[in-house]
Chains A and B, each alone.
Chain A
Amino acid sequence: MASLTCRTNIIRIFQLNLLNRTPNLVCTRSFKRWKRPYLQELYKRRNEVGPEKPRHRSAFYNWNYDSELYAFTKRLNEDVSLDSLKKAFTHSCYIEAEKRKRESLEMDTDDIDDTHNEEYCKKGLSFLEECTKKKLSEFLPQVPNYGINSISSNLCSIETVSRVAKNLGFRDLQLCEEETDEILHDSFVAFLGLLLTEGSQQRCEKFITDFILSLLISDDVLQMLEIRNPHEILSKNFQGEITTRILFENGRNTVESAFLIGVYADRKLIGYSGGETEQIAEEMAMKDAVYRQIGLKSNQFNINTLLKSSA
Chain B
Amino acid sequence: MSGRAIPSDFVKSVLQNGAGRYVCQLQRLTFKFCKSSGGSRGTRDYIEKHLIDFSRENPGTAVYIQPRRHHTARVVAEFLNGNTVVKNINCLNPDDIMKWLEHLRTRSGIEIVRLRKSQHTDSPSIQGVWTPWTNKDSSMNISDYTDKKLLEMKRDELTATEKLLELAKNLREKDMKKTT
Residues of A within 8 A of B (CB): 61-62, 64, 67-68, 70-72, 74-77, 164, 166-169, 171-172, 209-211, 213-215, 217-220, 247-248, 250, 258, 260, 273-274, 298-300, 303, 307
Residue in A74, A164, A167, A307 whose Cβ sees the most chain B Cβ within 10 Å: A167
Asked if B80 contacts A167 (CB within 8 A), the reply is: yes
In the bound complex, how far is the Cα of B59 from the Cα of A206, in angstroms? 21
B20-A61 in contact (CB<8A): no
Query: Which of B127-135, B154-162, B168-176 makes up part of the contact surface?
Result: B127-135
CB <8 Å contact, B59 and A217: no
Q: Mark B19-36, 1 if CB is under 8 A from A, else 0.
A: 111011001101000000
Could you tell me if B122 and A274 are in contact, using CB atoms closer than 8 angstroms? no
Let me know if B62 and A217 touch, CB within 8 A. Answer: no
**Nearest residue, chain B, Cβ from A216:** B16
The reply to whether the CB of B2 lies closer than 8 angstroms to some CB of chain A is no
Given A260-B133, A298-B123, 15 further pairs, Cβ under 8 A:
A64-B62, A68-B28, A74-B60, A75-B24, A75-B59, A75-B61, A76-B21, A76-B60, A77-B21, A167-B15, A167-B80, A168-B15, A214-B16, A219-B122, A247-B133
Residues of B within 8 A of A168 (CB): 15, 23, 80
* List of A residues within 8 angstroms of B126 by Cβ: 300
Q: Which residues of B107-134 have CB atoms within 8 Å of chain A's CB atoms?
A: 122-123, 126, 128-129, 131-133
Instruction: Determine if B82 is an interface residue (Cβ-Cβ < 8 Å).
Output: yes
Contact (Cβ within 8 A) A211 B20:
yes
Given contacts A220-B122, A298-B123, contact A164 B62 (CB under 8 A): no
- Whether the pair A215, B15 counts as a contact (CB closer than 8 A) is yes
Q: Which 4 A-B pairs have the closest CB atoms?
A: A210-B20, A75-B60, A274-B131, A74-B59
| Nearest A residue to B109, CB-CB | A167
Q: Are A209 and B20 in contact (CB under 8 A)?
A: yes
Contact indicator B19/A214 (Cβ below 8 Å)? yes
Q: How far is the CB of A34 from chain B (nearest CB, A)?
A: 29
Whether B27 pairs with A71 at a CB distance below 8 angstroms is: yes
CB < 8 Å neighbour of B27 from A169, A214, A248, A299 = A169
B132–A71 contact, CB under 8 A? no
Q: Which of B15, B82, B128 has the most CB of A within 10 A?
A: B15
- Chain B residues within 8 Å of A303, by CB: 19
Query: How close is B25's CB to chain A, nearest CB, in angstroms?
Result: 9
Chain B residues with CB under 8 A of A167: 14-15, 80-81
Q: Using Cβ atoms and an 8 Å threshold, which residues of chain A touch B132?
A: 248, 250, 258
Q: Which residue of B lies closest to A213 (CB)?
A: B20
- Complex alpha-carbon distance, A126 and B128, angstroms: 37
CB pairs A–B below 8 angstroms (14 shown) = A62-B28, A64-B64, A67-B62, A68-B28, A71-B60, A74-B59, A77-B21, A167-B80, A168-B15, A171-B82, A213-B20, A215-B15, A217-B16, A218-B122
- By a CB distance below 8 angstroms, the chain B residues around A62 are 28, 30, 64, 66
Q: CA A167 – CA B82 in complex, angstroms? A: 8
Cα distance A307–B17 in the bound complex, in angstroms: 12
Closest A residue to B133 using CB positions: A248
Closest to A172 in B: B27
Distance in Å from the Cβ of A20 to the closest Cβ of chain B? 36
A138 to B23, CA, bound (A): 26
Inter-chain CA distance A71–B80, complex, in Å, is 12
How close is B67's CB to chain A, nearest CB, in angstroms? 12
The answer to whether B21 and A299 have CB atoms under 8 Å apart is: no
CB-CB under 8 A from B136, the residues of chain A are 248
Residues of B within 8 A of A260 (CB): 131, 133
Q: Which residues of B contact A307 (CB under 8 A)?
A: 19-20
CA distance A71 to B61 in the complex (A): 6
* Distance (whole angstroms) from the CB of B58 to the closest CB of chain A: 8
A70's partner among B24, B59, B66 (CB-CB below 8 A) is: B59
A77 to B23 Cα, complex, angstroms: 8
What is the distance, in angstroms, from B101's C-beta to the closest C-beta of chain A?
16
In the assembled complex, which residues on chain A have CB atoms less than 8 Å from the CB atom of B15? Answer: 164, 167-168, 211, 214-215
CB 8 Å contact bits of B55-87 with A (1 = contact, 0 = none) = 000011110101000000000000011100000
Query: Which residue of chain B lies nearest to A170 when distances are taken between CB atoms in the complex?
Result: B80
Q: How far is the CB of B14 from chain A (nearest CB, A)?
A: 5
How many angstroms from the CA of A169 to the CA of B23 in the assembled complex?
Answer: 11
Q: Which of B59, B80, B131 is the one whose CB lies under 8 Å from A169? A: B80
Check if B16 sits within 8 Å of A258, measured CB to CB: no
